[in-house]
Structure 1
Amino acid sequence: MSKTAFVTGSTGFLGRHLCHQLVQADWQVTAMCRSIPENALKGVNYVQADLLDMRSLMAALPKHVDCLFHTAADTNTWNKNNTRQSQTNIHGTQNLLDAAKEKGLQKWLHVSSITTFGVDHHGMIELTEQAPMEGLNSWVNYVKTKSQAEQMVIQQATDLPAVVVNPTHIIGVDDQHNWIRLFKMLISDTLPTIPIGAGSFADVKDVARGCILAAEKGLVGEKYILGGSNLSFEQFIDQVADGFGITVSKRRKPQALIKVAAKIQSAIGYLSGNPPDLTPEALQIISDQYSCSSQKAKDELGYTIRPFDETLQDIKANLIERGILSA
């Protein structure tokens, strides 16, 4: 018999890819969303619910689901929206945990973030699953609330069998709101400065597959880093330029000046009501310098990482199809 899955955040970047791969793997998928998408995936049963509305969660969540995949999160990096974000990421997760235990779910796959290990490392650091959760003390609300949610899930793993995955920077096809902004700036050669940070860039298809592998093979109470290619932002930009066949001007501005600009943009956003292009929180995240190892996920789950140039070619074809990049 087919396994059954309940997916939150199903219309998001990762959630949509995850639903697609679950259907391909012959899972029966119930996908939670706040409104039914116009481009609904074939084979997915969409249900409307809100993480902050316990009644809607109880109505949407079927009994005896084999695995709940919790990908939903408020990824805001502007402190004006911190209250809403805390409600969604912390209280929403607790509501879902309570509903899942009430319905007798078999397993919980929690999609956390590499940022729960912190975003304020001094100098380059390699992250593994043994690194401390420095994100619990972060001043960046997204980082702090994702860390608190991850901790809640792990602490309750005895009542609801849970496995945690920590994806890194997720890139890939059909991105609508995430790294697409950077790609557009590179294509138009309007990137104001090269970020000083370094990180791990993972293909969304790899991460979605890693989530399924973790649900099937992951050990309860454990967490697994789902990473990709470890690159500095300058290396990332160089490879994108080569892969896309574009020219990118390497502008470099002092980090102190960028911090001031981020604070000014955030303040202007408060006055205008429009979200700023850059906030101090977003700058902190992209300025962090780390590499990571996905060896545990490879050894225990069979996680694999696509070559970075193959991911870029997929993104290039998708951007050409969408009219964002010239052929």
Structure 2
Amino acid sequence: MAQTAFVTGSTGFLGRHLCQQLAAAGWQVTAMCRSLPENAVDGVNYVTADLLDAHSLKAALPDQIDVLFHTAADTNTWRKNNPRQTRTNLQGTENLMAAAEQRQAKRWVHVSSITTYGVDHHGLMQLTEQTPQEGLSSRVNYVKTKSQAEEMIREKASKLNALIVNPTHIIGPDDQHNWIRLFKMMIKDELPTVPVGAGSFVDVRDVARGCIQAAEHGRTGDNYILGGHNLDFAGFIDQVADSFALQVTRRHKPMPLIRLAAKVQSTLGYLTGKEPDLTPESLQIISHQYSTSSQKAKDELGYQITPLADTLRDIRQNLKERGILS
């Protein structure tokens, strides 16, 4: 008998890839979204519901599903939208937990973020699952609410049979809103500056596969870092430029000037009502310097990391198919 899955955030970058992999593996997938997608994944049953509407969640969630994959989150990095983000990431998770208990879901895979380990340090941090998490004290609301959500999951881990995965910087084909913004700036040679941060860049398909592996092999209550290739932003930009055959001007603006620009853009956003491209919060995240080890996920889940060259090749092909890259 086929395993059953319920996926929140199913039309997002990770959620869509997760639905594709589950369906391809023969799972019966119920995919939650706020509105039905134009490009549905074959073999997936889409249902509409809202994390902030507890009644709609209970109506959408089938009885006794094998695994609930909670990928949905508000990833806002603009202070003006913090109240909405807090409701979604905390009240929404609480509502979903209540529905999962009522419907007797058998397993919960909670998709969190590497940022829950903290983004306020100076210098390079080397992160493993044993690193103390400091995101609860972060000034960045996204980091704080994702950390609070993890605490909520841990408190009910035994009852929910829950575990947590912490992806790093997710890249890959079919990206609509995330790192594609950087790629577009590079393609137009309009990159304003090379960010000073460093991180781990992971293929979205590896993360999706890691979520499924976590459901099958992960230990209840544990965290698993799903990382990729550790690079500073200068190195990552060089790799992308080489793969995409781009000539990119490497501009280097002083950090005080970038911080000022972030504050100005954020302030102007309040006046125009348009969310700025750069805010003090988003700058805090992209300026953070860290590297990760996914050895625990490799040992316990069978997690594997795709070569960066292969990921960038597939991104390049996808951008060409979409007419973004010539």
Distance 2:292 2:243 in 1: 24
Matches within 5 A, 1:25-36: 25-36=25-36
Distance 1:78 1:252 in 2: 24
Matches within 5 A, 1:231-250: 231-250=231-250
1:243-265 Cα deviation digits (max 9, x unpaired): 00001111000101100000000
Residue number in structure 1 paired with 2:204:
204
Distance 2:244 2:142 in 1: 31
Q: Which amino acid aligns with 1:316?
A: R
Q: Which amino acid aligns with 1:317?
A: Q
Residue number in structure 1 paired with 2:257:
257
With normalisation by structure 2, the TM-score equals 0.99
Q: How big is the shift at 1:151?
A: 1.1
Distance 1:25 1:155 in 2: 31
> Size of the alignment, in residue pairs?
326
Distance 2:142 2:269 in 1: 18
Distance 1:305 1:68 in 2: 24
Distance 2:259 2:193 in 1: 12
Q: Secondary structure at the match of 2:310?
A: helix
Matches within 5 A, 1:1-327: 1-326=1-326
Distance 1:34 1:166 in 2: 24
Q: How big is the shift at 1:199?
A: 0.1
Q: How big is the shift at 1:121?
A: 1.7
Distance 1:67 1:242 in 2: 40
Q: Which amino acid aligns with 2:146?
A: K
1:299-321 Cα deviation digits (max 9, x unpaired): 00000001000000000000011
What's the Cα RMSD here?
0.5
- Name the % identity: 70
Distance 1:143 1:68 in 2: 23
Distance 2:305 2:44 in 1: 27
Q: Which amino acid aligns with 2:35?
A: S
Q: How big is the shift at 1:242?
A: 0.5
* Runs ≥4 residues deviating over 3 A: none
Q: How big is the shift at 1:154?
A: 1.1
1:139-163 Cα deviation digits (max 9, x unpaired): 0000000010011101111211101
Segment of structure 1 superposing worse, 257-266 or 156-165: 156-165
Distance 1:276 1:263 in 2: 10
Structure 1, unaligned runs of 5 or more: none
1:163-184 Cα deviation digits (max 9, x unpaired): 1000000000000000000000
Distance 1:155 1:27 in 2: 29
